[in-house]
Structure 1
Amino acid sequence: MKRANTGEVERRWIAVALVNLMIVALLGVLLRTNALFPLPGMHFGNWLFAHTHFAFGGWLTLCLFTLLTYRLLPPAYSGKRIYPRLLAGVLITSVGMLISFPFQGYALFSIIFSTLFIICCWVFEVIFIRDLLKAGTERSVTLLAVGSLVSLALSAAGPFYLAYMMAHHQRDTVLYHDAVYTYLHLQYNGFFTLAVFALFCHHLGPATAEKIRYRFAVVLCAAVLPAMFLSYLWHQPPVGIRIAAGVGSALLLIVLARFAELARSVKGELYSVNPLARRIGALALIAFALKTFAQLLTIFPAIGDAVCTNRPVIIMYLHLVMLGFVTLYIFAQLLYAGYFTTMKVLAGLGMILFIIALVFNEVLLFMQGMPGIFKLPQEVYLWGLWLSAAGLLAGTGMVALAATRYFFKRA
């Protein structure tokens, strides 16, 4: 596998993103605490908005933008001053959403920061895609990276339509949920997924397996928009949407086949990676296979209808993608790139604790979403989910400390 050392600018932005991940986990603990003991003056919905928006912006968008910039682009392009400025714009607007949402919900300042965040992302997308096309990277990497950023740009339609509905006092719950599902799909199955595989394919070799990577990239990108229609099956849509959903489901099946082919082609290369990074990366790829299979199953009405109205199962799926797939892959990539040069043990222990808490969280959410099978008191789930949130906080705190200690030691 191709390996590149972590530069100073990249290292600083990754450290900031990892601290933000810890803040996201802290908000998760607060939300789980509020479910047990209602906290005075805490509006659950508004704090949930802060939690999700900061997870998307302050953690994943900032981190993925940083990795895409400093991993995929040669120094002649990644060294431009515009990139740190755009990353700063993403960070500042994300912090603005973190501060404004708890006190206002969707109101003036939170909408302003959300809009500015989207504008920063759009500017980044245009500049990055232009530089990437000039850089002459492998075609599979280029396709995945461009597809990820196009998905991110399109996902803005969801929040903008929600803002339009609120401004006009529309109460159509079908359109509201479809707008939310559109946004989440293009973020999770578009931007996050394609960006991760752009980074993954960039580090792969040899060139003889490039055709395998390209075939996988083509079908993965092609599946994004058709698979989005699977999210609309919960309200008995017209035949056209059902046909598009069927096409999306078929493409997801091909994605799994191409993914298996890709996994076989890189199996030998992964043995050269250090054991912890290899195992965490393997867990991330397993999470991808699970989330794709789960998404494919929603084509069946009995499953799709049950899942789309089952809050614990939806949260389980979202955590599987954001934490089990994307975050674990980023952890593996950072270990592989030698990011944790001085605090490897602390970072590794934090990641292991994070994984244990994540698995515990997913199992509990699955059980909570199946009350007909698992007949446990609600208090058991609430306390168990609080413990898993605390474990995620402890794990991310250890990783963030390991990342920031590098700069304190240099000082």
Structure 2
Amino acid sequence: MKSIYYIIPLVNFFVAALFGLLLRSMFVFPVEGVTFLYILHTHSHIALLGWLYLLAYVLFVQKFTLDTPKEQKFYTKLFWVTQLAVLGMAVTFPIMGYAAASITFSTLHIICSYIFVVHLWKHNTVLGTQQGTLLRTALFFMVLSTLGVWCLGPAVGMLGKTSAFYQICIQFFLHFQFDGWFMTAFIALLFATVFKGCSLSKFKPFYYTWILSVVLTYALPLSWYVELPVLHYLSAIGVFLQLYAVGYLVKPIFSAIKKETNGRGIFVWLLVILVGICFIMRITMQLAVVSEVLATQLQALRSWIVGFIHLNMLGILSGFGLWLMIQEHKLSVNNWTKVAIILLLSGFILTEAILFIQGLQGFIGEIWIENTPLLLFYASVLLPVSIACFLGSYLKIRKL
């Protein structure tokens, strides 16, 4: 697809970062007439559905579809309808939160995603390949995750928003969006980018182990609302299976990425290193909560939960997505991009460190740094500035 279709998700990323900065400011500076929960919903929806979803959308079209006028016309029209849904959510959620208008735009986005799934499932260029298997699996998980959304209405009507079933539905959606749809989608894109015509020699054991790990690790968020000791054992098995699955990829993926990234400079390598370190940290944190006692204690530490979500969204998925944009020559490695990468790394590391300190202080009951909300706000400023620099990199390309 044309570069403009990559930049729209990046603009959404910038808007999501601004809403995230507003959230951080509300802990420091009083903001009249603004509802925290409404802004939180706006931030999360734009980041998830406007940035990551649309980025995966354009990359899937780029990698897995025929470059014919008919196909490109279909995906272009669907892209703009989906973006309309994102804009609708960006306008309605800050004003009213979950209400008729915002729910309508959210539903429109889901319908667009279903159309995307059905068409791409039937019409793709990688049927019968490893990339094709991962592609269809990612699409399946995307549809599966939306079952959690459709169950929210009955959950509210029968049991209310404070019920365990309502929270289970939300966690079902989030888990299979992150671990199922997005993680598998980006693994499929990784295969398509670095392996190209080659295959992974031990694909089947990797694939089945990965799928089983995605399903079993849902037991952890489920255990927060259902008191069944077996859920913690299932979660532990899922984490170890995920570690085992990743083990199949480490050597061949590292070798392939090294070949792809050489010659592009240290700044592009920084994105690769960021993704790798964050994935290791993700596995480590999942291993830490294998303990039922520790998992229960960490559940109450909001800053660590936020830090873990950002570890996945910013560190792994966004970092890898930006690397793919560079690989596809949608972003050039110019001075704007170099500054953007440095600011992104600085903002990410600082905010994650401050969130960790906040959580640690709450965990042990001692205060070392009293002004962490203010520090977190200042560190968060770097993130939208970084994305603005990525946009500046694109504008510079357009002028050349």
Q: Determine if the alignment matches structure 1 residue 136 to structure 2 residue 126.
A: yes
Q: 1:141 to 1:218 in 2, by over 3 A?
A: farther
Count of residues in Structure 1 that have an aligned counterpart in Structure 2: 397
Deviation for aligned residue 1:320: 0.3
Secondary structure in 2 aligned to 1:225?
helix
CA distance in 2, matches of 1:273, 1:156: 41
Secondary structure in 2 aligned to 1:284?
helix
Tell me the residue number matched to 1:197: 187
Deviation for aligned residue 1:377: 4.2
Deviation for aligned residue 1:179: 2.0
Q: 1:239 to 1:139 in 2, by over 3 A?
A: farther
CA distance in 2, matches of 1:78, 1:326: 30
Tell me the residue number matched to 1:148: 138
CA distance in 1, matches of 2:232, 2:353: 31
Q: Which amino acid aligns with 1:228?
A: Y
- Report 1 or 2 for greater relative contact order, CA contacts < 8 Å, sequence distance ≥ 6: 1
CA contact (8 A) 1:256 1:292 kept: no
Tell me the residue number matched to 1:5: none
CA distance in 1, matches of 2:203, 2:273: 17
CA distance in 1, matches of 2:306, 2:69: 38
CA distance in 2, matches of 1:239, 1:370: 26
CA distance in 2, matches of 1:181, 1:115: 18
User: Structure 1 stretch 86-95 or stretch 329-338: which is displaced more?
Assistant: 329-338
| Alignment match of 1:96 (pick from 79, 88, 93) | 88
Deviation for aligned residue 1:339: 1.8
Q: Which amino acid aligns with 1:317?
A: F
CA contact (8 A) 2:130 2:199 kept: no
The alignment's TM-score, normalised by the length of structure 1, stands at 0.89
Tell me the residue number matched to 2:108: 116
CA contact (8 A) 2:210 2:245 kept: yes
Deviation for aligned residue 1:290: 1.9
Give 5+ residue unaligned stretches, structure 2: none
The alignment's TM-score, normalised by the length of structure 2, stands at 0.91
Tell me the residue number matched to 1:340: 331
Deviation for aligned residue 1:246: 4.1
Aligned Cα root-mean-square deviation (Å) = 2.4
Tell me the residue number matched to 2:25: 33
Q: Which amino acid aligns with 1:324?
A: G
Tell me the residue number matched to 1:17: 9
Q: 1:194 to 1:160 in 2, by over 3 A?
A: same
Tell me the residue number matched to 2:38: 46
CA distance in 2, matches of 1:26, 1:12: 21
Deviation for aligned residue 1:264: 5.1
Secondary structure in 1 aligned to 2:330?
coil
Tell me the residue number matched to 1:228: 218
CA contact (8 A) 1:233 1:304 kept: no
Deviation for aligned residue 1:13: 0.8
Tell me the residue number matched to 1:319: 310
Deviation for aligned residue 1:207: 5.6
CA distance in 1, matches of 2:53, 2:292: 33
Deviation for aligned residue 1:18: 0.8
Q: 1:347 to 1:185 in 2, by over 3 A?
A: same
Q: Which amino acid aligns with 1:182?
A: F
CA distance in 2, matches of 1:101, 1:44: 11
Give 5+ residue unaligned stretches, structure 1: 1-8
Deviation for aligned residue 1:218: 3.6
Q: 1:165 to 1:38 in 2, by over 3 A?
A: farther
Q: Which amino acid aligns with 1:266?
A: A
Secondary structure in 2 aligned to 1:375?
coil
Q: Determine if the alignment matches structure 1 residue 363 to structure 2 residue 358.
A: no
For residues 129-187 of structure 1, give each alpha carbon's deviation from its aligned partner in whole angstroms, at most 9, with x where no partner exists. Answer: 2112xx23573212222222211111112222223333446144422332222221111
